[in-house]
Amino acid sequence: MAAFKLSTHIAAEAETLEAAEWYRERSEVAAFRFGRALDSKIEEIVEHPDRWPLFEAGTRRAVLSSFPYSVVYRVRGEVVEIVAIMHQRRQPGYWADR
């Protein structure tokens, strides 16, 4: 199977930076662990995008195990598009128009 390419919505990039900064303000170690957990999950998604269940609006959701975030993504052809880095306590579906 060919490798998937990765694309990230600009709003998902902003959510990543916002979350990382929130953790960094509290602990450099927590910020590092968050970044590592997120990078690892995204690598898994790119390698096996069909592993996670269907979610809303034609997307899939992969939950981070140690942090209250999910990676919301969709697959279009050979591209995995990261739609949102969604905090679990945010209003569901806020990202659906992306």
The structural domains of the chain, with segments of one domain joined by +, span 5-87
| Run of H or E including 37 | helix 28-47
Phi/psi at 7 (5° precision): -130, 140
For the entire predicted model, the pTM comes to: 0.90
pLDDT for 80 beyond 80: yes
* Domain 5-87 = CATH 1.10.1060.10: no
CA angle 26, 28, 31 (to 5 degrees): 85
The per-residue pLDDT for range 3-51, each reduced to its tens digit, is 899 999 999 999 999 999 999 999 999 999 999 999 999 999 999 999 9
Q: How far apart are the first and last CA of the chain?
A: 28
